[in-house]
Chain A
Amino acid sequence: MSAVPTDRLGGVQLRVTQARVVLSEWTKLRSLRSTRWSFLAAVILTIGLPALISTVISSHWSHMDPREQAQRNPMDAALAGVNVSQLAIGVLGVLVITGEYSTGMIRASLGAVPKRLPVLWGKALVFAAATLALMIPSVVVAFFVSQAIFRNHHILQISFSAPHVARAVIGGGLYLTVIGLFALALGALVRNTAGGIALFAGVLFVIPPLMNVLPSSWNNAISPYLPSSAGRDVFALTTGGSDMSPWGGFALFCGYTVAALALAAFALVRRDA
């Protein structure tokens, strides 16, 4: 008797390839509850918050004085959810990798793929693709839901084909995708869930307000180039003052993310698992 039936493996060329690792990482991603809950939260926040805010603005519109009305920007309402759902995406990005360290799964993953880098690339690709596939439709839906609510009150109408609008809406989805990758890279560097989330929150939410402590000439010279503000340029309707251009800011933001991923890759190959 054979302890392990082997005949069923006949005909298959057993070998690790990047494509197979991508499939494996897809199985890993879709088979965890944290994935479903985080993505669900991100979609609901991205669409729900603009719906809520548009409803509130519409119902209060008649009580606003003309100056306040003039300050209202339909895109602020349509993309309000992005600011909050980036937290859900960021936490998931960290968890995608630190969850493997906290449970010990990383040893199985790197045992199966001892060259290691295909695991990191696979995770990044699969997570980015899933985020993009969910969040681009979400921001588009958010825009049209918000506009539909405003239309009922004949206020704040803007066309998707108006200058910059489509870019800003799609930019919201792109921003969320890249912020997720940035968080994944931080998680891979820190290898610890709490530490990864703290670092992510620190870079995005703690460092920017700290800049206000600096002399304003320094602040103005640095702040536009921080990951948080560079990334936001792509989903701002208009960029002014010292801001970078939408695509310029986004390119810099992608540059930060690529640098973080490169550092993570370097550390992954060098460190003991």
Chain B
Amino acid sequence: MIEAAHLTKNYGDKRAVDDLSFVVKPGIVTGFLGPNGSGKSTTMRLILGLDRPTSGTVTVNGKAYRDLSAPLHEVGALLEARAVHTGRTAYNHLLALAQTHGVPRRRVDELIELVGLQEVARKRVGGFSLGMGQRLGIAAALLADPGTLILDEPVNGLDPEGIHWIRTLLRGLAAEGRTVFVSSHLMSEMALTADHLIVIGRGRLIADMSVEAFVKSASKNLVRVRSPQAEQLRALIVSHDVTVEIDADGALEITGLDAAQIGELAAANNLVLHELSPVQASLEEAFMDLTRDDVEYHAHTGLAPVGAES
């Protein structure tokens, strides 16, 4: 359980996190979603006591992280920036972390096996690929069997196999009753992994809801229709709660009626339809709609650069 209350962090004049309050519950995967620069990594560093909040508080299991007597047993973290000495072997890295808590050596071997790093465990971390580095980071996070996991963009730069592995792992950890808090700037990723979403933009809370509710609230329910009698059809259905727009190649884009209703209306009036297709707004579009005003840097094309950079 993670609880943030009015969490605020300034770096000089720059406000990275702005009066953020939320609760992350055990037993589910909570996605932490926001465009680049929205303050996700900063929030996670604040939770872990690495940075000190300007104001507000954040606790894990009711205590400030600094006051935990076995922090790695309560919280396992995978930070965005690498947190491992490149000159040390994976084994010695994990061993040094384990020793701070009295975690036995055999547990280090188990974790190395769990994340599939047996072959390279005695090699220096400097030569590791991004994927191997992430696996080592996960091993470090799980080392002391934490009840809460905090992972900052864990799938960034991973191949599909690695992404699948992390997703499965996170869902498994949540199913065991652990608290799992995972950030991403990609809605599509969150939709596949998370049960609950905390969405931020420019350091402020935008949404705190289930993934299901988010998808529902965000869908536009647009229907695309092509007809040789487009003008007649338009005149027939347009009303104060039905809008019709004509797109670049002459198709009608109708909101306010579903495909069945439109088809029945057309049939009743003997209008010919060449296409009748419901268009679900993609999750990515929904997310962009939600955060459009809160994106840190708008690209010059006018499109919000959500997910365009990492």
Give A contacts to B, CB under 8 Å. 1-6, 8-9, 12-17, 20-21, 23-25, 27-28, 31-34, 99-100, 103-108, 110-115, 272-273
Contacts and interface: CB of A to CB of B under 8 A. Distances in A.
Contacts of B169: 3
Nearest to B81: A104
Nearest to B137: A108
A107 B73 contact: no
B239 interface: no
10 closest residue pairs by CB, A with B: A3-B172, A31-B92, A24-B99, A107-B83, A108-B83, A105-B85, A273-B50, A272-B51, A114-B66, A27-B96
A4 B104 contact: no
Which among A6, A107, A112 has the greatest number of chain B C-beta atoms within 10 A?
Answer: A112
B104 A9 contact: yes
A222 B173 CA distance: 64
B176 A104 contact: no
A105 B88 CA distance: 10
Interface string B73-96: 100010101111111110011011
B106 interface: yes
Contact-size category for B:
35 or more
Contacts of B92: 27-28, 31
Contacts of B50: 107, 110-111, 272-273
Contacts of A273: 45, 50-51
Given A16-B69, A24-B99, 7 more contacts: A5-B114, A9-B107, A12-B102, A32-B87, A104-B83, A108-B84, A113-B71
6 contacts: A24-B97, A25-B96, A99-B85, A111-B49, A113-B100, A114-B49
Contacts of A34: 87
Interface stretch (B32-40, B140-148, B190-198, B288-296): B140-148
Contacts of A23: 99
A8 to B, nearest CB: 6
B48 A111 contact: yes
Interface string B123-151: 00000000000000000101011000000
Contacts of B70: 14-16
A111 B84 CA distance: 12
Contacts of A21: 99-100
Contact of A115 (B66, B89, B103): B66
B164 interface: no
B81 A4 contact: no
A114 B65 contact: yes
Nearest to A1: B172
B52 interface: yes
B100 A24 contact: yes
Contact of A4 (B51, B66, B77, B142): B142
Given A5-B110, A9-B145, A103-B82, A15 B69 contact: yes
B96 A28 contact: yes
Contacts of B82: 103-104
Contact of B176 (A2, A12, A99, A108): A2
Contacts of A5: 110, 114
A239 B66 CA distance: 49
A14 B107 CA distance: 13
A272 B52 contact: yes
B68 interface: yes
A215 B143 CA distance: 61
Interface string B24-55: 00000000000000000000010011111000
Contact of B81 (A12, A31, A32, A107): A107
Contacts of A32: 85, 87-88
A9 B68 CA distance: 18
A126 to B, nearest CB: 11
Given A27-B95, A31-B96, A114-B66, A8 B110 contact: yes
Contact of A105 (B83, B106, B110): B83
A72 B122 CA distance: 52
A31 B83 contact: no
A15 B92 CA distance: 20
Contacts of B48: 111, 114
Contacts of A8: 104, 106-107, 110
Contact of A15 (B77, B83, B101, B110): B101
Nearest to B73: A14
